[in-house]
């Protein structure tokens, strides 16, 4: 080993002798010194942020109304403190039309900003506190304590906090309760931006999630380029005739000589990255109080990222024996990786938005629903899915959502259902409606020669699930009750008109109340499942499962038993009920199999390596449980043997929805828009609804994805660092954080494995070349 | 081991191919058979493109041969066991710029698997020997070409190899340094080391080498003792006939005689009879200088007897010595004809 260690040692010697190392270290020092003054202080939460108020129009309407009365009140006092112009601006609020266009929305937004500025300004004013006006306000613990001290004796900071608390208490229905302290970032003595009303844990999490990306994309891209420029001459210099002939005359292996030179180049970068990350770790520890030893993993990870690029530069240097060519090839390689990576990301992000999320077999037909909650009906003639809209604005919103940059995009909360109501020949679902200002409403799709979608009234409570079984009315499970859908849900809602807004009201006529006598309260996280044969209902809420049967008078449900299955009350789970089994699929990928009669645990299985479940559906005969995980993998559980095996279907890893037809056929949606019907018992495909691929899908599936699989992913190492810092393997990307919602799997180790394989391949080629080449 | 030749090649061939689509063949070595014994200083001579460096590269395993066989100290050429026993000085040595005299020796020593302690013990003495002791701690980027060459020689000697392969060892050195190099090459030979050197400075080779081989366009023209070549003997026209062991056959010698004679021209011509006269120069009617060739020493004696009997006075008689350069040029020129 002595000769090879000597080569590596020589690389260190070379690094220390080069001016570039010292210049780089000096630059790193400058960056660290620039970051060092950044710190934070915890101070009382004061003032008012725009997002603290849920609905500005409602708050302003309330203030205006109360200000007209004779009695002194907080509203009257605040209104009086506003300037005449502000009062005028706030009074001039046009209500949003029923079907607002984007101009309406923009104006609405502007008005909200004006309202926030005016009212936040008032809270800042010392005259805001006027004992007479605030007399009747009920005070919380913190406010009482401050009151006890006496307003006059309070410090300026405490007074501001006092005013905020007063405001919160007076308008408790409109204003979010704020934590006592907020984080104020500070650079030297200057405050940066607003104080953030968050806990330290949240701050650490935010930093751990965003810091890797920031470092990766801003600093390290430049750092890596410099490192490549510095190290690119190593191999060409080694191959210089006056140097290589002497080296090759020594009793050493050529491949090892090449690898040692390669490692020597990495050593140079190891020095720089060690200095940078140890420095950053110290700055974070000393200045922000966040001692995060896992940050030091970055030293190895980013040296490895460099090694991937350097392996390419070294191979190019060996072949062409020219530093400039080596640098150029490394830069071209970086560009290709970057383009393929970002092309894949952007195409995937778009395709992910409209891929099929739900399948509903409706008689002989199949209706689907995409991740944006748009219904899709199959058009046989065009061999494509046709989106169904109840109104034009839905179409516009869908277009906007599809085009939105990834940073601004969030998946909407997944709908409840859809299910097929065979008695009323409708597909029913409860979904977020723009018209109802983000509340859920019922929607109904009917096939009248062509599929038509109509939006109906909101459900009478917060829906948890909409479930169905053939021949019976669909069941709406809500946080505080159960309803049967007995008629078409598509009748238009009655609108309640308030100043500025109109809200649809729930109508009871389509529903029949089957809530148990003793009203339940199933708080989130909650989910529910229906046994297709017996009609027994299993409702999961905050760690417990309750079994209910529709055996009461008038089909009312009666509670059979309740059992705690998960200790952590905040954990969401997917449940399924069929045959002798009640399955509880947990976030960590494990599946608890319980006896469907006693809810006693029978067995616990592990699904898709720690990946959260997305859906669990029993076959109509109750024997098979189809389990879909968020990594797009489908597994089948045979309840006879309680054994889990990957399903024998195509598109494993890219499956986004599953459903059982009444005939026991399994419907599987994969490759974004393809639905295949399988008869698993006969092991054959029954039919395939394969939508034509559009240009971007073709580019994605046939060009970008294969390239992406082959190429290393040096641009994605921030995901690995993010994972090491946060331990989170998936990123929730839909509102509400439900398991059924879309999730993005981070795949933190993919960049490592693929880059490692690529680097070994490239180094192998380099060794082979050096071994075979005549110098 | 000791019975093995230091270098032994048999019918060694090397053909280079250039270009990807229209491959051009270039034969760098055409069946070179050579044997260098242990303990001798052997010079390989040849012009530019004669194949000298190719020959050395094959011996060291830097390039592969296309035919024939080459052995180094009993090992196949390129075998790492053989390479361990070699001290090599390449042409135009480039030492990494960040090294100093000391660290360069440490680096190259480690590459030859010499322990640090041994390197530290030896490097002072070696640098002293090559005249770099006072510059040992200076970075090599401040060294002149001659100093680099001396450092190269030091690194070649560091691991005490059996065989030295030196490509243009005195290139870039001043006359004093050349003489020093000649000195320590002679020293090495005394210690039983073999030295194989490659040079185009023929005066140097003449002074240092025991034997030389002359390469021309990939063909081995002549392998002989330096003394033999410069004695003026053995300059026969025609190609050298090589025996299977890489040694030339015994040849019939011809001697070039320079005669200063005093007699009339017709008398001299009559006495010399059929002997070919290469050159005739008359200084007066009776003083003549004649250059002729005779087959052997007995023939010289016979000629002297004949001249004396005829009454020709022999003022001067000498056998001509040629320099290696002249011999080389003559040998190479012969092949051109």
**B61·A248 Cβ contact <8 A:** yes
Low-confidence ranges of chain B (pLDDT < 50): 1-2, 234-252, 337
Q: Provide the pLDDT confidence category of residue A733 given band limits of 50, 70 and 90.
A: low
Answer yes or no: are the C-beta atoms of A305 and A714 closer than 8 Å. yes
pLDDT at residue B319, rounded to an integer: 76
B-contacting residues of A 245-264, CB under 8 Å? 245-253
Range 68-97 of B in CB contact (< 8 A) with A = 80-81, 83-84, 86, 88, 90-96
Chain A residues in contact with B119 by the CB 8 A cut-off are: none
**CA distance, residue A707 to nearest chain B CA (Å):** 29
CB contacts of A20 in chain B (<8 Å) are: none
Nearest to B62 among A3, A245, A253 (CB): A245
Examine the pLDDT at A115 and tell me if it is beyond 50: yes
Is A360 a residue whose pLDDT tops 70? yes
pLDDT higher than threshold 70 for residue A736? no
B interface mutation test: which of A1, A13, A238, A245 has the most B CBs within 10 A?
Answer: A245
Residues of A in contact with B151 (CB under 8 A): none
Higher-scoring residue by pLDDT: A211, B71:
B71
- Is residue A589 classed as helix, strand or coil in its secondary structure? coil
Q: Is the pLDDT of residue A633 over 50?
A: yes
What per-residue confidence (pLDDT) applies to B196?
Answer: 93
CB of B113 within 8 Å of a chain A CB? The answer is yes
Of the listed ranges A114-118, A674-678, B172-176, the least confidently predicted one is B172-176
% of chain A residues with pLDDT over 90: 29
Task: For residues A379-402, give the mean pLDDT.
Answer: 88
| The predicted structure's pLDDT at residue B169 | 85
Within an 8 Å CB–CB cutoff, is residue A14 touching chain B?
Answer: yes
Place of tokens 């002072």: B124
Which residues touch B309 (CB under 8 Å, ≥6 apart)?
none
- C-alpha span between A428 and A531 (Å, rounded): 18
B111 vs A775: CB contact, 8 Å cut-off?
A: no
Of the ranges A240-254, A366-380, A507-521, B234-248, which one carries the lowest mean pLDDT score? B234-248
Q: Strand order in A511-513's β-sheet?
A: A463-467, A475-478, A481-485, A511-513
Picking from B91, B93, B112, the nearest residue to A250 by CB comes out as B112
- As a whole number of angstroms, the distance between CA A742 and CA A733 comes to 6
Average pLDDT, chain A: 86
Q: Which long-range contacts (CB under 8 A, 24 or more apart) does B294-299 make?
A: B294/B254, B294/B255, B294/B257, B295/B252, B295/B253, B295/B254, B295/B255, B296/B253, B296/B255, B297/B255
Sequence-distant (≥ 6) Cβ neighbours of residue A440 within 8 angstroms: A413, A415, A416, A430, A431, A432, A433, A458, A459, A462, A463
Q: What is the pTM of this model?
A: 0.73
- What pLDDT score does A738 carry? 64
Query: Is A241 within 8 Å of chain B by CB?
Result: yes
pLDDT of residue A302: 86
pLDDT in tens, A140-181: 788 888 888 888 888 888 888 888 888 888 888 788 778 778
Q: Other CB atoms closer than 10 Å to residue A177's CB: what's the count? A: 12
CB A138 within 8 A of CB A169: yes
When comparing pLDDT for A67 and A565, which is higher?
A565
Packed helices A241-249 and A254-288: angle between N→C axes, nearest 10 degrees: 110
* pLDDT tens digits, one per residue of A274-326: 999 999 999 988 888 888 888 888 899 889 989 999 999 999 999 999 999 99
Residues sharing a CB contact under 8 Å with residue A19, sequence separation 6 or more, in sequence order: none
| Exposure string over B26-44, b if 16+ CB within 10 A, otherwise e | eebbbbbbbbbebebbbbb
Which residues of A are less than 8 Å from B141 in CB distance?
none
Residue B66 touches partner A, C-beta closer than 8 Å = no
Chain B hits for A241, CB-CB cut-off 8 Å, are 90, 92, 94
Residue B245, pLDDT score: 44
Kindly tell me if the per-residue pLDDT of A585 is higher than 80: yes
Nearest to A738 by CA among A410, A483, A459, A399: A410
Q: Which pLDDT value is given to residue A745?
A: 64
Predicted pLDDT of residue B288? 92
Query: Does A260 score more than 90 pLDDT?
Result: yes
User: CA of A301 to nearest chain B CA: how many angstroms apart?
Assistant: 29
In this complex, the residue of A6, A240, A251 whose CB is nearest that of residue B84 is A251
Write the Ramachandran bin of A744: left for phi over 0, alpha for psi from -120 to 50, otherwise beta: beta
User: What pLDDT is stored for residue A494 in this prediction?
Assistant: 62
- What's the pLDDT at A594? 93
Judged by CB atoms closer than 8 Å, whether chains meet at B115 and A2 is answered as yes
The dihedral region occupied by A632, where left means phi > 0, alpha psi between -120 and 50, and beta the remainder, is left
CB neighbour list of residue A691: distance below 8 Å, 6 or more residues apart: A383, A384, A385, A673, A674
Q: Among the residues of A504-621, which ranges form H helices?
A: none
Tell me: pLDDT of A608 over 50.
yes
Measured CA to CA in angstroms, residue A509 lies from A205, A443, A458 at distances of 47, 15, 12
| A245 with B90: Cβ contact below 8 A | yes
Interface test with B, best of A243, A244, A251, A256 (most B CBs within 10 A): A251
Residue-wise pLDDT for A37-96, tens only, equals 888 888 788 888 888 887 888 888 888 888 888 778 888 888 888 888 888 888 877 677
Helix ranges (H only) for B49-174 are 52-60, 80-83, 101-111, 116-130, 145-158
- Tell me if chain A has a CB within 8 Å of the CB of B60: yes
DSSP state of A530: E
Q: Cβ contact (<8 Å) for A241 and B112?
A: no
Q: Please check the confidence at residue A5 and state whether its pLDDT lies above 80.
A: yes
For the stretch A472-503, pLDDT in tens is 999 999 988 899 998 888 765 566 666 656 66
Shortest CB distance from A249 goes to which of B86, B94, B96? B86
Direct distance between the N- and C-terminal alpha carbons of chain B, in angstroms, rounded to an integer = 43
Whether the bond between A418 and the residue before it is cis, its omega within 30 degrees of 0, is yes
Could you tell me which of A576, A677, A366, A353 has the C-alpha nearest to residue A668? A677
State the pLDDT at residue B241: 38
């Amino acid at each position: 080993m002595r000769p090879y260690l000597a080569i590596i040692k020589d690389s260190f010697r070379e690094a220390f002798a080069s001016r570039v190392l010292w210049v780089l270290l000096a630059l790193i020092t400058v960056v660290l010194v620039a970051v060092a003054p950044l710190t934070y202080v915890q101070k009382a939460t004061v003032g008012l942020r725009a997002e603290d108020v849920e609905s500005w129009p409602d708050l302003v309407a309330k203030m205006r109304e109360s200000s007209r009365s004779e009695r002194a009140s907080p509203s009257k006092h605040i209104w009086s403190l506003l300037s005449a112009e502000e009062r005028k601006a706030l009074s001039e609020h046009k209500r949003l039309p029923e079907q607002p266009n984007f101009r309406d929305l923009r104006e609405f937004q502007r008005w909200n900003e004006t309202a926030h500025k005016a009212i936040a300004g008032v809270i800042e004013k010392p005259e805001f506190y006027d004992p007479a006006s605030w007399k009747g306000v009920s005070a919380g613990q913190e406010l009482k304590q401050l009151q006890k001290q006496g307003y006059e004796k309070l410090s300026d900071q405490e007074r501001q906090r006092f005013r905020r608390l007063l405001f919160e208490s007076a308008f408790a229905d409109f204003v979010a309760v704020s934590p006592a302290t907020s984080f104020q970032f500070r650079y030297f003595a200057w405050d940066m931006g607003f104080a953030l009303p968050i806990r330290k844990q949240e701050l650490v999490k935010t930093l751990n999630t965003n810091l890797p990306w920031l470092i990766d994309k801003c600093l390290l891209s430049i750092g890596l380029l410099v490192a490549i420029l510095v190290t690119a001459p190593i191999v060409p210099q080694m191959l210089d005739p006056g140097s290589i002939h002497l080296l090759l005359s020594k009793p050493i292996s050529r491949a090892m000589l090449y690898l040692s030179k390669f490692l020597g180049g990495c050593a140079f970068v190891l020095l720089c990255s060690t200095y940078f990350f140890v420095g950053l770790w110290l700055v974070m520890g000393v200045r922000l109080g966040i001692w995060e030893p896992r940050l030091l993993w970055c030293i190895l990870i980013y040296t490895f990222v460099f090694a991937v690029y350097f392996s390419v530069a070294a191979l190019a240097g060996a072949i062409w024996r020219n530093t400039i060519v080596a640098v150029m090839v490394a830069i071209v390689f970086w560009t290709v990786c970057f383009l393929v990576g970002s092309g894949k990301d952007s195409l995937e992000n778009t395709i992910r938005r409209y891929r099929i999320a739900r399948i509903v077999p409706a008689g002989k037909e199949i209706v689907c629903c995409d991740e944006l909650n748009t219904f899709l009906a199959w058009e046989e003639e065009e061999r494509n899915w046709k989106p169904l809209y109840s109104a034009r604005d839905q179409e516009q919103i869908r277009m906007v959502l599809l085009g939105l940059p990834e940073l601004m995009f969030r998946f909407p909360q997944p709908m409840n259902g859809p299910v097929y109501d065979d008695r009323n020949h409708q597909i029913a679902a409860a979904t977020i409606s723009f018209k109802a200002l983000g509340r859920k409403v019922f929607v109904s799709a009917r096939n009248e020669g062509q599929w038509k979608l109509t939006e109906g009234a909101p459900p009478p409570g917060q829906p948890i699930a909409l479930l169905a079984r053939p021949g019976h009315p669909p069941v709406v499970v809500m946080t505080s009750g159960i309803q049967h859908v007995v008629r078409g849900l598509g009748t238009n809602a009655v609108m309640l008109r308030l100043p500025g807004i109109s809200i649809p009201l729930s109508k009871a006529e389509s529903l029949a109340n089957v809530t148990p006598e003793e009203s339940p309260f199933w708080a989130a996280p909650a989910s529910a499942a229906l046994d297709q044969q017996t009609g027994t209902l299993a409702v999961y809420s905050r760690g417990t499962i309750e079994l209910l049967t529709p055996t009461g008078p008038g089909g009312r449900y009666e509670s059979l038993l309740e059992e705690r299955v998960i200790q952590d009350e905040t954990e969401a789970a997917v449940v399924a009920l069929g045959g002798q089994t009640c399955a509880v699929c947990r976030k960590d990928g494990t599946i608890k199999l319980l006896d469907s009669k006693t809810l006693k645990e029978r067995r616990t299985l592990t699904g898709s390596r720690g990946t959260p479940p997305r859906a669990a559906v029993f076959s109509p005969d109750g024997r098979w449980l189809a389990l879909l995980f968020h990594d797009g993998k489908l597994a089948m559980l045979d309840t006879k043997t309680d054994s889990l095996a990957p399903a024998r279907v195509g598109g494993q890893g890219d499956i986004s929805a599953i459903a059982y037809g009444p005939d026991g056929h399994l419907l599987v949606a994969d490759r974004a828009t393809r639905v295949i019907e399988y008869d698993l018992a006969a092991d054959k495909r029954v039919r395939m609804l394969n939508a034509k691929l559009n240009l971007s899908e073709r580019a994605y599936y046939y060009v970008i994805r294969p390239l992406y699989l082959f190429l290393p992913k040096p641009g994605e190492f921030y995901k690995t660092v993010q994972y090491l810092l946060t331990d989170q393997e998936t990123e929730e990307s839909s509102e509400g954080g439900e398991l059924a919602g879309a999730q993005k799997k981070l795949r933190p180790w993919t960049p490592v494995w693929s880059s490692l394989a690529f680097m070994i391949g490239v180094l192998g080629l380099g060794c082979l070349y050096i071994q075979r080449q005549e110098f | 081991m000791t019975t093995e030749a230091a270098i032994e090649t048999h019918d060694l061939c090397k053909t280079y191919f250039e270009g990807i689509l229209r491959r051009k063949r270039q034969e760098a070595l055409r069946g070179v058979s050579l044997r260098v014994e242990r303990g001798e200083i052997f010079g390989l001579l040849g012009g530019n493109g004669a194949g000298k460096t190719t020959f050395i590269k094959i011996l060291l395993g830097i390039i592969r041969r296309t035919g024939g066989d080459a052995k180094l100290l009993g090992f196949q050429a390129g075998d790492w066991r053989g390479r361990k026993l070699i001290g090599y000085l390449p042409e135009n040595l480039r030492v990494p710029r960040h090294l100093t005299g000391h660290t360069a020796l440490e680096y190259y020593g480690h590459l030859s698997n010499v322990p640090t302690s041994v390197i530290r013990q030896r490097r002072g003495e070696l640098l002293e020997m090559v005249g770099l002791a006072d510059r040992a701690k200076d970075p090599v980027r401040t060294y002149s070409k001659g100093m680099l060459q001396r450092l190269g020689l030091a690194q070649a000697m560091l691991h005490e190899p059996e065989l030295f392969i030196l490509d243009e060892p005195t290139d870039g050195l001043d006359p004093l340094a050349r003489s020093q190099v000649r000195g320590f090459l002679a020293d090495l030979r005394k210690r039983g080391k073999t030295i194989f050197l490659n040079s185009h400075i023929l005066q140097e080779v003449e002074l240092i080498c025991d034997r030389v081989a002359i390469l021309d366009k990939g063909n081995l023209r002549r392998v002989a003792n330096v003394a033999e070549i410069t004695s003026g003997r053995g300059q026969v026209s025609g190609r050298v006939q090589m025996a299977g062991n890489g040694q030339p056959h015994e040849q019939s010698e011809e001697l070039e005689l320079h005669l200063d004679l005093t007699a009339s021209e017709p008398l001299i011509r009559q006495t010399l009879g059929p002997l070919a006269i290469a050159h005739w120069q008359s200084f007066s009617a009776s003083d003549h200088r004649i250059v002729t060739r005779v087959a052997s020493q007995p023939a010289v004696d016979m000629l002297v007897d004949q001249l004396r009997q005829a009454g020709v006075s022999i003022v001067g008689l000498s056998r001509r010595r040629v320099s290696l350069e002249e011999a080389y040029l003559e040998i190479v020129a012969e092949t051109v004809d």
